């Protein structure tokens, strides 16, 4: 089984969301294979279907001054933050070819983050009832997905070396008292994003059982051609 692997670099949330939604349609129609998008976002707070406005602690003026967008989206979960220094993977997969098992898919996303963390000597763990991965010092990575006709979008976000750490503006995932932590916080020195991306690529191939094929520049340009949402 093969999947396209596309590195979008650092990108605003709206254009990345538009690409996901377009690919989800194309995958459902059988016009593309599975696709793995890897990227970093410009600072943004996203609110999932279970999100509550009071879990955003900063005022709109404060967020505007900091250049932080706020976007309500269709993924599951509550409020989270994305920004530079956070590794984001958005798999566009056909789960009809993977047993239609959402619980297994979420565990696979967690396993990918666990393996990336292990590549820099950090042991991340799961916590029952709280999707994502954790360390004794806080939450390392989040999982939030949306599935339509068994085609996935959204995915995972692993804190590698946040700058700035925008989790101070929210209650992470709506969990009172939860603290977010990054790999660099735990190891005590900067963790290069390039190394994290390489480790993620290996983990994706192994965990999802796919051969990753780099997407062509013209393919990515076509995905970008649709106007951003929001």
Per-residue confidence (pLDDT) for residue 226, from 0 to 100 = 63
Query: Can you give the residue range of the structural domain that contains 31?
Result: 2-39+85-165+174-224
Contact 172/214 with Cβ under 8 angstroms?
A: no
Residue 49 included in any domain? no
Neighbouring residues of 225: CB distance < 8 A, sequence distance ≥ 6: none
The catalytically annotated residue of 36, 173, 199, 204 is 173
For residue 97, indicate whether it is catalytic.
no
Q: What are the tens digits of pLDDT across the range 97-132? A: 999 999 999 999 999 999 999 999 999 999 998 889
Contact 71/83 with Cβ under 8 angstroms?
A: no
Residue 69 included in any domain? no
The secondary structure of residue 76, as a DSSP letter, is: S
Residue 118 included in any domain? yes
> Model confidence at 59, in pLDDT bands (50, 70, 90)?
very high
Residue 103 included in any domain? yes
Known binding residues are 75-82, 142-144, 155-157
The token pair at 121 is 């000597």
| Among the ranges given (5-19, 24-38, 174-188), the one the predictor scored with the smallest mean pLDDT | 174-188
Residue 75 included in any domain? no
User: Distance between CA 57 and CA 93 in Å, rounded?
Assistant: 34
Contact 211/3 with Cβ under 8 angstroms?
A: yes
Residue 213 included in any domain? yes
Q: For the chain, how big is the Rg over CA atoms in Å?
A: 16
Residue 63 included in any domain? no
Known binding residues for substrate are 75-82, 142-144, 155-157
Residue 153 included in any domain? yes
Check which CATH number belongs to the domain holding 192 and give it: 3.30.930.10
The token pair at 37 is 């998008």
User: Distance between CA 189 and CA 220 in Å, rounded?
Assistant: 34
**Structural domains of the chain, count:** 1
């Amino acid at each position: 089984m093969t999947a396209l692997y596309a590195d979008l670099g650092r990108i605003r949330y709206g254009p990345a969301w538009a690409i996901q939604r377009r690919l989800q349609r194309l995958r459902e129609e059988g016009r593309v294979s599975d696709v793995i998008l890897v990227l970093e976002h410009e600072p943004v707070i996203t609110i999932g279907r279970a999100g509550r406005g009071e879990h955003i602690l900063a005022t709109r003026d404060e967020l505007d001054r900091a250049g932080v967008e706020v976007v309500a989206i269709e993924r599951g979960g509550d409020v989270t933050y994305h920004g530079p220094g956070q590794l984001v993977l958005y798999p566009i997969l056909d789960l009809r070819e993977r047993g239609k098992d959402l619980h297994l898919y979420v565990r696979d996303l967690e396993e990918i983050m666990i393996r990336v963390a292990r590549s820099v000597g950090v042991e991340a763990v799961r916590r029952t009832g709280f999707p994502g991965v954790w360390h004794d010092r806080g939450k390392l990575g989040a999982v939030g997905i949306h599935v339509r006709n068994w085609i996935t979008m959204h995915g995972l976000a692993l804190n590698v070396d946040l700058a700035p750490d925008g989790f101070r503006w929210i209650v992470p995932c709506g969990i009172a008292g939860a603290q977010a932590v990054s790999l660099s916080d735990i190891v005590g020195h900067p963790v290069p994003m390039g190394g994290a991306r390489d480790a993620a690529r290996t983990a994706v191939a192994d965990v999802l059982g796919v051969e990753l094929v780099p997407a062509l520049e013209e393919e990515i340009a076509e995905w970008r051609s649709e106007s951003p949402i929001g």
